Every structure is written in C-alpha cells, then in structure tokens.
Amino acid sequence: MSEGKSLRVRRLMSESGRSLIVPMDHGISVGATPGLRDIAGTVAQVSEGGANGVVLHKGLVPTVRESLRPRTALIVHMSASTSLGAHINRKVAVCTVAEAVRLGADAVSVHLNAGTETEPEQIVDTARIAEECALWGMPLLAMVYVRSSPEDEYDPAKVGHAARMAAELGADLVKCHYTGDPESFSEVVAGCPVPVLIAGGAAHGDTRKLFGTVAEALEAGAAGVSMGRNVFEAPDAAGLTRHLGLLVHEGWSADRAHAAYQDHTAAGVQLAAV
C-alpha cells in the first residue's frame, strides 16, 4: 500500500482500528427517501455523531461540503443503477477516481452484485477502479452482495466467497451482509485479507436488534459497520451514530450501549415536551 493510500485509510479508521461509515448513496437507486431529502442536514447529524465517513455520489458533494466536520471522511461512490429500470442489480461506473480526487475525497467505493447476469461487467469495473485507486493512492471500499437468489444473500459460504473476490480485485475494505451468527461470520472474516464491515440492510426500527447484530459482528472480527438506512432514517441520526460508536470504538456491550441510547432518546422526548 502506498504512503498516500495508507494515510487516507487511517482517516477512515479510529484509534480502535475500526470504522463507522454511513452510506447515503441511495438517492440514485430509490430517490429522495426519508433522511435523504435534506441531505446536508443528515450529513451534519451523522458527522456530529462521530461517523468516520459518509458515502455520497459526486453530484451531492458541493451540497454537503459545509456539513462535514474535519474528522469525517468523504467517500465518493462510483457505482449506480435505479429502481426505475429493468436492471437494478446491474451497477455501472458513473465516476472516475480523478473526479473523486478533484472533489476532495478521502476514499471511493464501488458496489458489486455477485451471482447476477452482469457480474462479469461489474468485476471488470471494480478491477479497473482498483487500478486507478492504486495510481492515485486512493482507498477503495467494495460493497459486495450475493444477488443470485434471496436465499443466497446471507449464505456464509457465498458471502465469504464474495468478500474474498472483492479483496482479490483490489479492495482495501469490504462491506458485506452479516451472516446471522458470530461463528459463521468469523469464517467470512478469516477468509478475507482486508478489513470487513457489515451492512445494515433495510431500516427496521428495532434498535435493540441493531445493537445486538453489531456487537455479534465485532465479536466475530468485523472491523466495523457501514450502515445507511438504519442510521439516516432514524429520528435522531446523530444520537444513534454516537451510540453505535460506543459499540464500535469503545467496546461497550450491546445491552450497555442500547440502554444508554434509550436514556438519550427519553431525555430528548422530555426536553421536547417542555
């Protein structure tokens, strides 16, 4: 790893050696959903809450530039597809590393859907972007999912294969689904030579389950989380980010962090009622 890339990777990680990233690249895929309408405000919230990085498409960078605190890394997303079209799982490259550098990015990210008809093209895009990242000293986060069937999405062997593929293509960090238990996910982590972050999936509003999942993944060796909808759709994105950070960076248990988050939420409700 080049010196420049090594320095940028350090910006993505806290002293704990872990990272808490909030992707907000969903606008291209599904539109201006709750939490993304006021994108500058939401970025400000998660940045205030201590997120190590946010993921955005290039066109939104000017809108959120003033909302980012210095400690929050900017990750420019390189891949896109929309739910309006017939090929939502076909991700295509919509940015170059040179563009991301001009925008002031600390890292870039790609999305790769394994097991789909267009997997070969996505592999080619990922490999090309990894080469550009090596030339520019830019870290690459690969978000890789198994999309061959709904049953395969959380299959430990297939998730592990997809994570390893991303690392072999040149990713510096890999984001994938949590496989449901620490034992199976530890095998995913063991088979991937770069740090692994877990995805959050669709927002479900069950914060106790969310905290428990994060704690289990960390126990299994995950290097942190890369969670979008569960964070940016929360009523208090800053508070949730801050309390997830207690899990990721401070080693708090799920029960302790969740109890603190509940106390924080209750205090906010009481203040609002005054």
Q: Any idea which residues carry the catalytic annotation? A: 25, 145, 175
Q: Which residues pair with 111 in a beta bridge?
A: 143
Query: Is there a contact between 228 and 209 (Cβ–Cβ < 8 Å)?
Result: no
Query: Is there a contact between 18 and 50 (Cβ–Cβ < 8 Å)?
Result: no
Query: Is there a contact between 14 and 52 (Cβ–Cβ < 8 Å)?
Result: yes
Beta strands in 86-172 (DSSP E): 92-93, 107-114, 140-146
Map tokens 């201590």 to a residue.
50
Query: Is there a contact between 69 and 38 (Cβ–Cβ < 8 Å)?
Result: no
Q: Which residues pair with 113 in a beta bridge?
A: 145
Map tokens 């994108």 to a residue.
39
**HSE on the CB side for 249, CA within 13 Å?**
17
Phi, psi of 163 (to 5 degrees): -60, -45
| Residue 127 CB coordination number (10 Å) | 13
- Of 9, 12, 18, the residue nearest 251 (C-alpha): 18
